[in-house]
Amino acid sequence: MRGRFAPSPTGDLHLGGAFAALAAWLRVRALGGVFVLRVEDLDPPRVVPGAEGRILADLGWLGLDWDEGPDVGGAFGPYRQSERHDLYDAALLRLEEAGNLYPCTCSRTEIARIASAPHAGEGGPVYPGWCRDPANRKAGRVPALRLRIPEGPEAVVSFVDGFEGPVTEDVAAAVGDFVLKRVDGLYAYQLAVVVDDLAMGITEVVRGADLLDSAARQILLARMLGGTPPAFAHVPLVLGPDGERLAKRHQSFVKGTTVAELRAAGLGAQEILGVLAKGLGLGEGTPLTVGQVLELARREGLRPRGPWVMPEGWLR
């Protein structure tokens, strides 16, 4: 069994990230698997200098450890996406050779216009496959590369999420041919995460519920790359004391939304762990060492219930 935590170094480790990391770590450690830390620095303009080091330090301060990662190495490295572009190119080539990749020269405005409003999903309009026909491509424009989603039942993905239960999605209807390489030359998150999870032999992905609607796309892409997709389990979102998704504006009335801020406000690792553990159905929210949380996880298994709400005591 191999699990992972895959933070983007776009800022400090926030509570949602710590919650997902703890859940992923507990699953691996309870089952005697291997825990991988992968840094998803795919989008250079969004990378914050020093964030990677601070995320790793905050995880360590909480008591989490990993067997493979950018700082400790391992047999499946490198462990930063910025150093794995060869693998992404190889995957794109493979898809292209199978006829499953095509260049798209549509602008955002054109896509919005082509896509009929009733189909517009939450992630924006469903791309209607306009550029599947080479005659529709505009010469002289740098293309994005899109995945050709199969027609019919092959596009329907069903899986059982470890925490959310059964999920079924028709990827063709929900998102359509999605982008794997962007116009600006950057690899899409969907491509990199699937290639890396396959190449690193990840068997279980535990992460935040904000990524639940990416799982079907990732399962489909993994299969199209000839791989076996990992199992998925999505932990609930972390909410502020007002029940709203934890966001920047909460900073004015909570002690912090990042681990570093909470630590600076005087909270200890065991206090934070105890509260995070309760969100996974472990313990009562009183301070716990990481060993105690692991012991509970071994005995009881993880049972996250509903959204995780920040305790009153963490208000300013």
Q: What positions carry a catalytic annotation?
A: 248
- 283/302 Cα distance (integer angstroms): 11
Contact between 145 and 179 under an 8 Å Cβ cutoff? The reply is yes
Out of 34, 51, 104, 157, which residue is the one contacting Zn ion (CB under 5 A)? 104
Task: Detail the DSSP E strand segments found in 105-257.
Answer: 144-147, 156-161, 165-170, 179-181, 204-208, 231-235, 238-239
Element (H, E) at 307: none
Out of 193, 220, 237, 238, which residue is the one contacting ligand GLU (CB under 6 A)? 193
CA dihedral 57, 33, 21, 67 (to 10 degrees): 20
User: What is the pattern of x (binds ligand GLU, CB under 6 A) and - over residues 147-186?
Assistant: ----------------------------------------
Out of 18, 101, 106, 193, which residue is the one contacting Zn ion (CB under 5 A)? 106
**Closer to ligand GLU by Cβ: residue 40 or 58:** 40
Beta strand 34-37 with 2-5: parallel, antiparallel or unpaired?
A: parallel
**Closer to ligand GLU by Cβ: residue 27 or 207:** 207
The one-letter amino acid code at 119 reads: H
Out of 6, 294, 302, 310, which residue is the one contacting ligand GLU (CB under 6 A)? 6
Contact between 201 and 76 under an 8 Å Cβ cutoff? The reply is yes
Verify binding: residue 7, ligand GLU, rule CB under 6 A. yes
Task: Detail the DSSP E strand segments found in the chain.
Answer: 2-5, 34-37, 101-104, 144-147, 156-161, 165-170, 179-181, 204-208, 231-235, 238-239, 308-309
Residues 119-138 that bind Zn ion (CB under 5 A): 130-131
193 contact choice in Zn ion, ligand GLU, none (CB below 5 to 8 Å, kind-dependent): ligand GLU
104 contact choice in Zn ion, ligand GLU, none (CB below 5 to 8 Å, kind-dependent): Zn ion
Closest CA to 11 of 49, 58, 56: 49
Site for Zn ion (CB under 5 A): how many residues? 4
- 250/24 Cα distance (integer angstroms): 26
User: What is the pattern of x (binds ligand GLU, CB under 6 A) and - over residues 230-269?
Assistant: ----------------------------------------
**Closer to Zn ion by Cβ: residue 130 or 159:** 130
Q: Which stretch binds ligand GLU (CB under 6 A): 5-13, 26-34, 82-90, 114-122?
A: 5-13
- Residues near ligand GLU, by CB under 6 A: 6-8, 40, 193, 207, 211
